[in-house]
Amino acid sequence: MGQVKVYGIRTQLKPRQAQLSMIIHSCIVDALQCPPDKKFHRFIHLDPEDFSFPSDRSAKYTVIEILMFEGRSVETKKRLISMLYQHITEQLDIEMNDIEITIIESPKHNWGIRGRTGDELELAYPINL
């Protein structure tokens, strides 16, 4: 399971949101072996004055944060990041320089899900990949 937050300038992100969500989810399902029905995405649409970034980025600059349980290997996380770059740049006309991806991990006991902590849940998918 992962919680995904995507930040971008409203006029650039909104028209690409549905396709970007499909790409992100497909990569997570493939790389992390998450069930297809576990999709948790939030899109944060910002006005240009609310989103500061370096001048070598374009208005398509997009930040993707993936929050998830700790336990995946470095190779698995690198595979996810690589897949995201490949599919986003190929399908959405966004340059690699305009995409930043951060994976944020925390222990299962730091999560509250369905009235329980994450370490008390029995998951139907692997974490230690």
Report the DSSP pairing between strands 62-69 and 2-9: antiparallel
List CB contacts of 86: < 8 A, sequence separation 6 or more.
none
- E strands in the chain: 2-9, 41-46, 62-69, 99-106, 112-113, 116-117
Q: How far apart are CA 55 and CA 60, in angstroms?
A: 12
For residue 12, pLDDT over 80 is answered with: yes
Question: Which CATH architecture is the domain 2-120 placed in?
Answer: 2-Layer Sandwich (3.30)
Amino acid 15: pLDDT: 97
pLDDT(102) > 90: yes
Nearest CA to 2 out of 102, 69, 77 is that of: 69
Domain boundaries, the chain: 2-120
